[in-house]
């Protein structure tokens, strides 16, 4: 399975985090981070540096990769 297919078929923000952080630079060039799948929950009001989400967690830019963090209450 191609890398972009693994991204498209990810089951959770945690799976996306693992895939992206383990990817080579060449693999990362095959995806558009702004088009990553989401997994339910409301879209954050500000999505700058937020690439995916579910009802409890956000996938955010972090150092040289991404990190899953718990949503904060508004």
pLDDT tens for each residue of 21-71? 999 999 999 899 999 999 999 999 999 999 999 999 999 999 889 999 999
> What was the pLDDT predicted at 11?
97
- Helix, strand, or coil here: 5? helix
pTM of the model: 0.89
> What was the pLDDT predicted at 74?
56
**DSSP result, 16-48:** HHHHHHH--HHHHTTS-GGG---BSSPPPS--T
Per the structure block, which two tokens stand in for 22? 């383990």
> What was the pLDDT predicted at 64?
84
> What was the pLDDT predicted at 42?
93
């Amino acid at each position: 399975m191609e890398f972009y297919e693994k991204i498209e078929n990810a089951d959770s923000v945690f799976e996306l985090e693992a895939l992206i952080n383990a990817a080579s630079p060449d693999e990362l060039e095959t995806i558009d981070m702004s088009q990553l799948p989401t997994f339910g929950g409301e879209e954050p009001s500000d999505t700058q540096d937020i690439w995916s989400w579910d009802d409890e967690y956000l996938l955010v830019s972090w150092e040289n990769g991404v990190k899953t963090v718990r949503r904060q209450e508004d």
